[in-house]
Amino acid sequence: MSVPRKTISILLAFFAIYVIWGSTYLLNKIAVSELPPFKLASIRFLVSSVFIFIIAKVLRVRITITKRQFKNTIIAGFLFLTFGNGVVVWALKFVDSGFAALEISAQPLVVLLLMWLIQGKKISAMSYIGVLLGFIGIYLLVSQKQLISQDNQVVGMIMIFVCMVSWAYGSLFVGRADMPANYFVNTGYQMLTGGIMLAMASFCFGETWSLPSTWSSNVQWAMLGLIFFGSIIAFTAFNYLLKVVSPEKVSTNTYVNPIIALILGWWILDERITLQSIIAAVVLLTGVYFINSKRVLTKPRIIGR
């Protein structure tokens, strides 16, 4: 008995948002070991935006947008990509990829708190439990003495948390702003504007730019993976799933990505997984489950992992 084509497409799409997005932490960690962080992120998103617009033209998708929409994509591009992603890539110079992914899995907690602070949203009883577990999980994660004692580890952890606030505020902003109706076009403009601002940040910080031919083969492959798989294929799969399955099912990548990142970091980069990190992961992800279980959040806004 043959499996329906739609079922295969859904399974492949879930594989993309589970495994590919989970692997982007590893790919960024490999690339940032050799390339300056803002340069790395800038190249990734600028090249990805070009391919997205080419694909849009081939598919005859209209890419023209209004001035207001363009302004809003600039703001979203900064919140999600220039700051939200660029600074995380910088933090990966000091923080293990699996650790970063696990800390970032608390993003729904930050979104919920901002919705309460800024929009006055009421928090359900289940979500209160999720918030409590989330804070306990984060504390267990960042309080490990062997991590705090490492150079710039604390700074990296703090900056990742600040990036989570940027992503969370970006999610609230995009939810109300006048954005391009087509998700593909919307992402293309966010990556284009975010990539340009990342390039400006790179030059301001005096980062050295070099041709891809001078990079090591590992970095070349990591960059290709980030561009084609992490930015284009996985995000296309993400938007496809939003149309064919419920947002709650799509948001399950929140639980899977850090596990994939932890395993890949341990397997390929020999990153250390402590018992306390495992306990923190269980507590933190349980908290995220409680937060998502009452459908407090809108459609997941995960741009350019």
Q: Return d(Cα 146, Cα 229) in angstroms, integer.
A: 34
Query: Taking all residues of the chain, what is their mean pLDDT, rounded to a whole number?
Result: 87
Q: Residue 234, SS3?
A: helix
Q: Return d(Cα 164, Cα 256) in angstroms, integer.
A: 18
Task: Determine the average pLDDT of the residues in 224-247.
Answer: 84
CA 284 distance to own-chain centroid: 17
* pLDDT at residue 235, as a whole number: 79
Helix axes 97-104, 21-32, angle to 10 degrees: 140
pLDDT in tens, 185-211: 988 999 999 999 999 999 999 999 999
* CB atoms inside a 10 Å sphere around CB 235: 25
> How does DSSP assign 8-57, residue by residue?
HHHHHHHHIIIIIHHHHHHHHHHHHTTS-HHHHHHHHHHHHHHHHHHHHH
Cα–Cα distances in angstroms (integers) from residue 180 to residues 64, 73, 76, 190, 201, in the given order: 9, 8, 12, 10, 26
- Look at residue 46 and tell me whether its pLDDT is greater than 70: yes
- Look at residue 297 and tell me whether its pLDDT is greater than 50: no
- Look at residue 296 and tell me whether its pLDDT is greater than 80: no
**Which pTM was predicted?**
0.87
DSSP 139: H
* pLDDT at residue 204, as a whole number: 96
Highest mean pLDDT pick, 41-55, 95-109, 121-135, 267-281: 41-55
* pLDDT at residue 283, as a whole number: 92
Task: Determine the average pLDDT of the residues in 158-168.
Answer: 91
